[in-house]
Amino acid sequence: MATQFGTNAKNVMLDALKNHNPGGGVTIYIGAFTADADGALVGTPGIATYAAASGGTIQLIGSVSAAVPASTTVNHIRIYKEVGGSQFVIYKKDITPEVFTNAGFLIFEEATITLAG
């Protein structure tokens, strides 16, 4: 028989992650990056607001726009908090490369975080 966290436990963990204050910041950012591990943040990240956890999931409220400068290729996104100049990464994902010839925005209309297991 598989062991799994109950939905209430998942909700508590996700709310704790969302509200965690690592070194002074509770603001959650969504940013565009050149690559995963050592990729540089490009442009200006957007500020994300998440609803209280429900059903083992936290949902983005509204949309988030991350500014991207011209002549940039975005290969990766991260949802994170700032911690003394470093990032407390909540979620990261490689994406199909998006080439910005001109300055523009990556607009996130959905960025759900689900705790599985």
Count CB-CB contacts under 10 A for residue 90.
Answer: 20
Question: Is pLDDT larger for residue 117 or for residue 54?
Answer: 54
Banded pLDDT at 82 (limits 50, 70, 90) = confident
Token code pair at residue 45: 């990240």
Between the two ends of the chain, the Cα-to-Cα distance in Å is 13
Q: Tell me the pLDDT band of 22, cut-offs 50, 70 and 90.
A: low
Residue pLDDT, tens place only, 97-112:
999 999 999 999 999 9
Q: Return the SS3 of 7.
A: helix
Domain boundaries along the sequence of the chain: 7-114
Identify the pLDDT of residue 21: 74
Rounded to 5 degrees, what angle do the CA atoms 24, 67, 80 make?
30
CA distances from 79 to 1, 2, 41, 110 (A): 33, 29, 12, 12
Give phi and psi for 84, each to the nearest 5. Answer: 50, 45
User: Exposure of 105 by Cβ count < 10 A (0-12 exposed, 13-18 middle, 19+ buried)?
Assistant: middle
Q: What is the pLDDT of residues 28-76, one digit of tens each?
A: 999 999 887 667 889 899 999 999 999 999 999 999 999 999 999 999 9
